[in-house]
Amino acid sequence: MKAYIFPGQGAQFSGMGLDLFEGSSLAQELFNQANDILGFSITDIMFEGSAEDLKQTKVTQPAIFLHSVILAKTLGDDFKPEMVAGHSLGEFSALVANGALSFEAALELVSQRAQAMQKACELQPSTMAAVLGLEDKIVEDTCAETPGIVVAANYNCPGQLVISGEIEAINQACASLTEKGARRALVLPVGGAFHSPLMEPAREQLAAAIENTAFSTPTCPIYQNVTASAVSDPAEIKNNLIAQLTAPVRWTQTIQQMIADGGTEFIEIGPGKVLQGLMRKIDRSVAASGMS
């Protein structure tokens, strides 16, 4: 089965989407529509902005979503997913790809998600750190033992787990994990503690928006971050999407389940090659390629 996977925050780059815009009238139409929906010219920032301009959460999230979704739409009849998944923000791209959400509705939600997350980040200083070379259980136990809020947030691939929480708790957990043999425990240059209890204000804000948005029955299952299992019921998709903001991204488990369910060819749609790299670390025997 052919699986399409969609990247999340961190995959952005200066000039992203410009070749799409220049090479397709459909892409031009969708990008212009996006500028109208967002109320500012995101295309100017995507095509000409600096890495610093693109780093703002309110820009990054819609930019990555637009790159992924518009690229998928320009593939026309060649785009026939049999299963989809997206890493964090990428879940919204995946839901447009399988018909559960319209382009317009998903972009509205992504914009509201980005602003809600930005607001939550400003309420309390917080961060994330990548932990390399330790078993998940050791990282989970260390987070549980550390005073303050620090949790496992992104299960990216075996031996790579991102933790999320209060700055002091993250620093303390990193020191403990280094002592326990982590190859690296590196604080990341992010604006806040995504996929942790500190995103609760954002979850509440986004929940209302998601509840008021129409979701359709998808053309193929989405493997969601929260459950790492196939979901096709619109009500369940909504609930998982709301829970995703404060719950971990179970990417390793998601890919393993997709493979177990018959996924043989994985294609990353969107900027960068992050997910292809993770695929090789999760299961090197499965074909992984990308379109960016």
Q: Which residues are catalytic?
A: 88, 195
What lies within 8 Å, CB to CB, of 19 at 6+ separation is none
The H or E element spanning position 130 is strand 126-132
96-117 burial, b if ≥16 CB within 10 A, otherwise e? bbbebbebebbbbbbbbbbbbb
Count CB atoms within 10 A of the CB of residue 80.
10
What lies within 8 Å, CB to CB, of 262 at 6+ separation is 1, 83
To the nearest 10 degrees (0 to 180), the angle between helices 234-243 and 90-97 is 170
Q: Which of 81, 58, 57, 54 is nearest to 69 (CA)?
A: 81
Relative to beta strand 184-187, strand 126-132 is antiparallel
Read off the tokens for 220: 């193929």
* CA angle in degrees (0–180, nearest 5) for 77-277-281: 120
- For every residue of 74-104, DSSP letters joined together read HTGGG---SEEEESTTHHHHHHHHTTSS-HH
What lies within 8 Å, CB to CB, of 193 at 6+ separation is 121, 126, 127, 128, 149, 153, 164, 165, 166, 170, 199
